[in-house]
Structures are given as C-alpha cells and as structure tokens.
Amino acid sequence: MPELKGLMMLKYYHAEPLANSLKSMLPLKEKGLAYESIYVDLHKFEQHSDWFVAINPEGQVPVLDHDGTIITHTTVINEYLEDVFPDAQPASGPLRPRDAVGAARMRYWNKFVDEHVMNFVSMHGWHRLVRVIASSIEDGQFEELMSHVPLPDQKKKWETARSGFAQKDLDHATDKIVYALDKIEQHLGENAYLAGETYSLADINFYSHCGLMVDRMFPDMKVNETRPNIVRWRDAVSARPAVQEALQSEDRTAPGLRTWSGAGTEHS
Amino acid sequence: MPELKGLMMLKYYHAEPLANSLKSMLPLKEKGLAYESIYVDLHKFEQHSDWFVAINPEGQVPVLDHDGTIITHTTVINEYLEDVFPDAQPASGPLRPRDAVGAARMRYWNKFVDEHVMNFVSMHGWHRLVRVIASSIEDGQFEELMSHVPLPDQKKKWETARSGFAQKDLDHATDKIVYALDKIEQHLGENAYLAGETYSLADINFYSHCGLMVDRMFPDMKVNETRPNIVRWRDAVSARPAVQEALQSEDRTAPGLRTWSGAGTEHS
C-alpha cells in the first residue's frame, strides 16, 4: 500500500490553531490524513532557531514535510495535498472542486484572502499580541533575536510591532477588512460557500484568517448583528468535526493576550 | 471534436503585451490555443467603460472568456488553462509540472511574484507612465473618470499617480525589486527555470512582470552586468517563438512613454 506509506510520512510543523497554522491543519484533518504534529513555540521564537531554519530557511510556520520534501506557504501546501491525495476528502466533497470553473473560483477567493485579507487582520493581531511581547524585550536581547529573522519583511514587522504600528496603517487595515466583509457578505448571499455550493480551500482560508475571530477581534464591526450570511457560513464551518478538532490544538498564548488566538476564548 | 469546439470559443481581452496582459497571452500562445484577441484601450479608459465592466465588474484587464464563462486574475486564468487544456503544451513540456512537487514549486514562485514583485514594478511603471497621463487630465474630467473605477484600491492608485507617489514608497518598491532579483539570481544559479528544470507558468509570471523590462526600467541596477543567471534565463525565455509572437501585439503607448511597455523599444 504505497499510499499508506505516504500517509505515515507527513509531518506538520505549526503554532497555535489560527491563521496560517490553522489553514493547513484543517485540510489534513478534513482529509483524514495521518500526520505527525510538531508544535513550534513562537513564544520562544523557535521559528527562528537553527533547527527550524534548517527546515524552512524563511523561518516561518507552518511547514509540511512529506517524506523529506519540504512544502511551505499554506495556499501552496493545501493545493499540494489535493494533488497528492485527491481521493482523501470529507463527505462534503473535494476541498478543491474537480471542475475547472469551480477550481478557478476557489483560486480567485484564495488569492483575494491571501492578498487583501490576511496581512490586514495579521497587522491588528500583531498590534495587540506581538507588540506586547516585542516591547517587553530588553534592547540588546531584541537585536539578538532580530539577527535570527531570515526575511527582511518579517524583521521590519517585528521592529514595527515593537515601536507601534502607525494609526494610519491600522486604519487602512480596518478599511480593507470591512471591504472584504462587505464583498463576502454579498457573495455568501448568493452562494453557500465561497467557491460555490461546496466547502473548499477558499472557505478554510477566509475562516482561518478572518471568519473565525473577526467578531472577537473587531466587536465594533458588529458582524453578528449585521452580516447574517457570514454568520450562517461561519457557524456551518465551525460545526465541522475537523474544525472542532483542530481548534482544540495546543495554545500557549497567555490567556490575557487571546484576543486574536484562542478558540472562542473570551477575555474575561 | 468537442475540444476544437472549446478552442473556438476562447476570447482574450487584453491591453499592451506586458505585465498582466502578457502573462496570460503567453500560455495561450505557448499552448497553441486558437483565441479571439480583443484589445482593450487603456489610453481611452476602456477598462472602466460600461461594456467592459459588464464583462469584468472589477474593471481590469486581462479577462478570459471561455464559452461565456469569465475568468479573471492571471494566475487563476493560467491554472484554468492547464486544467481545461492539459494536453495542449509546448515542446518544452507542460507549463504546470505534472508532479505534485513541481507544481508546488511553480506555485511558490507564482505567489512570490504576485505578492512581492508585481505591485512594486507596477508602482514604478505607473509613476513614469500613468502619472504623465493622469496629471494631463483636467480636474472635472479626472473626477468623472474616477467615478467609473470599480475597485477602491485601483481608484487610490490613480489618485496617487496623479498627485505623485511618495519617494519613500518608490524606494521601498525598489528595495523589494532588488531583493527579488537577488533571490531569483541565486535560485537560477541552481535551476534552469524557476520551478526546476522546465519552463513553467512561474517563469511566464516573472518574465511578464519584471524579467522582460527590468534592465530597461532600472538601468542603475545593471542587471546585464551583474546578474548572469537572470540574463541567461531571460534570453532563453525571449527566444521562445510564442514570446516573440506575443511581443509583436498591438501597443498604442505613445513612443516617448515606452519605458515600461514596448517590446525592447528604447527611449531614443
């Protein structure tokens, strides 16, 4: 059984179950693939440690190791899992539609989330969570930590988190999120899911980066009161057993900082 | 012959053969697909006209119309063409590698170009070309034109082009391009093409958005003198008959503004 052999050799390096780390964990669970879960502790900067950078030179989670082949970037990982394990799929159907038009719709929305949602929610998450961590580090130690960050953009993001994001940039990020919510609310008024009638990688993408925590992170947007289609969609995604299981994964974020992370954990 | 029927029904709406418009024209030509070419005149703002927005509500070129199904965004269009016409391929091999690891490598580089190259070269192109056009328009007429731009980000880009991009943003864009050139120069020292040993959609992406015109746009970067791997790769791509043919497409850009557009057209 060569496929079973393949299944035994999947390792998934990830952090808390939200954003990127959740985004590739969900297909693994939805497809029922056996994998070794390796928690990378961002609170200890393990993603910049020598052992991890030897695996992913970009120093970022998550990473999929399939029989020694390293695949990075969640949108790429998730298409890879469809290419390698096309027949492993949830009862709701394939996570990448089999028809070309459906696959194109899925990719349109994946691209929209990757380019117009992810970084903007992330900025608010960093502003609330990483800023607190980054500004609690002593000067010399901070520079030492930064010397291990491989990506220049990522180093800049850390430095900005420490000094504080500009209000203009935070406001722009908020505008982008509101625009995305408007667009998706309208789309989900005409479609059950983002790519059409079935749950796909596009839903997993928007859920992991925004849908899961948007109401918790941005209570002023009143998503629960004003976006019935998104709420209906979010509740359908949240009710999936694979999603429930993923959200129970390890979370070492300090409870007081769980605005962004944490499966439904409230401040109180 | 149902496939021939499919082939007869492809329409490609595009502008000058560079950047996005070139990026999906190349696979059409490489794959030898018959299609109807429809030139959209950006100099007359046709992309924001009622007839075009009825086809693509985002008001952007290019667009693929396949038997009435509209596909937008070049990375999505190009994967769609692989899904629908897998057997139409150049002699060099499929434009999307058939093995899952090769496809993942292709998608990694596509994503890199989409997110870390395209917008930054585009900003310099707009700074040099669109700024001249946008600032020559009378106030009232400019607002009228802007009222037809569907995407808020695109409207902002037009307004910024008119008032002038900030030097800080142009410098950041330059830094991003230099970073990409460094990364790709190193990668092409170990690989014939971006996704590995064969020419793929990733090469088409980087060539269309940067490789084709980087030396012409940024002579100070001295690509020809300092990046032998990129030069070797660029010359191999430029020599392809499909590329040569695409670069002969209609170009209505005023000759004096062809720093960015124009197949090898020099200032002089």
User: With an 8 Å Cβ cutoff, are B76 and A115 in contact?
Assistant: no
Q: What is the pLDDT of residue B169?
A: 95
Q: Domain extents for chain A?
A: 2-84, 100-240
Q: Min CA distance, A199 vs chain B (Å)?
A: 19
- A103 close contact with B: CB closer than 8 A: yes
Location of structure tokens 């900025």: A123
Q: How far apart are CA B51 and CA A67, in angstroms?
A: 52
| Class of the CATH-defined domain A100-240 | mainly alpha
Place of tokens 């961002």: A42
Q: What is the mean pLDDT of chain A?
A: 92
Which residues of A are less than 8 Å from B83 in CB distance? Answer: 100, 103-104
Task: Kindly report the pTM of this predicted structure.
Answer: 0.93
A-chain residues near B101 (CB < 8 A):
69, 71, 80
Nearest residue of A to residue B84, measured between CA atoms: A100
Tell me the C-alpha distance between A33 and A84, whole Å: 11
Q: Which of residues 76-95 of A touch B (CB under 8 A)?
A: 76-77, 79-80, 83-84
Which of A104, A107, A179 is closest, CB to CB, to B152?
Answer: A179
B107 interfaces chain A, CB cutoff of 8 Å: yes
CB contact under 8 A, A83 and B100: yes
- Residue A98 touches partner B, C-beta closer than 8 Å: no
The domain made up of A2-84 has a fold known as Glutaredoxin (3.40.30)
Backbone angles phi, psi at A149, to 5 degrees: -85, 115
Within 8 A by CB and 6+ apart from A87, the residues are none
For residue A11, the surrounding DSSP H or E stretch is strand A10-14
3-state SS, chain B, equals CHHHHHHHCEEEEECCCCHHHHHHHHHHHHCCCCCEEEECCHHHCHHHCHHHHHHCCCCCCCEEEECCEEEECHHHHHHHHHHHCCCCCCCCCCCCCCCHHHHHHHHHHHHHHHHHCHHHHHHHHHHHHHHHHHHCCCHHHHHHHHCCCCCHHHHHHHHHHHHCCCHHHHHHHHHHHHHHHHHHHHHHHHCCECCECCCCHHHHHHHHHHHCCHHHHCHHHCHHHHCHHHHHHHHHHHCCHHHHHHHCCCCCCCHHHCCCCCCCCCCC
Structure token digits, residue B182: 């460094």
A38 membership: H or E segment, kind and range = strand A36-39
Q: CA–CA separation, B112 vs B115, rounded Å?
A: 5
pLDDT along chain B (268 residues), means of 10: 58 96 98 96 92 96 97 98 97 97 98 97 91 87 92 92 93 97 98 97 98 94 97 98 94 76 44
| B175/B196 Cα distance (integer angstroms) | 26
Residue A139 exposed, middle or buried by CB count within 10 Å (0-12, 13-18, 19+): exposed
Q: What is the pLDDT of residue B2?
A: 46
CB A211, CB A234: distance < 8 Å: yes
Q: Is the pLDDT of residue A189 over 70?
A: yes
Q: Nearest-CA residue of chain A relative to B73?
A: A108
* Percent of chain A with pLDDT strictly greater than 90: 82
CA distance B161 to A172: 19
pLDDT class of A266 with cuts at 50, 70, 90: very low
Instruction: Give the pLDDT confidence of B221-260 residue by residue, as tens digits.
Output: 999 999 999 999 999 999 999 999 999 988 888 777 777 6
Would you state the torsion angle of the CA atoms of residues A12, A195, A124, B119, taken in this order, to the nearest 10 degrees? Answer: 100
Spell out the alpha helix ranges (H) of A191-227.
Answer: 201-206, 214-217, 223-226
Question: Does A179 sit within 8 Å of B73, measured CB to CB?
Answer: no
Residue linked to tokens 């021939």: B4
3 state SS for A51-103 = HHHHHCCCCCCCEEEECCEEEECHHHHHHHHHHHCCCCCCCCCCCCCCCHHHH
What is the spatial distance between Cα A164 and Cα B242, in angstroms, rounded to a whole number? 49
- Average pLDDT rounded to a whole number, residues A217-228: 96
Model confidence pLDDT, tens digit, residues B103-139: 999 999 999 999 999 999 999 999 988 888 888 889 8
Tens-digit pLDDT profile for residues A193-204: 999 999 999 999
A101 vs B contacts (CB less than 8 Å): 69, 71, 80
The alpha carbon of residue A202 is apart from the nearest alpha carbon of chain B, in Å, by 13
pLDDT of residue A58: 96
What pairs with residue A66 in β-bridges? A10, A69
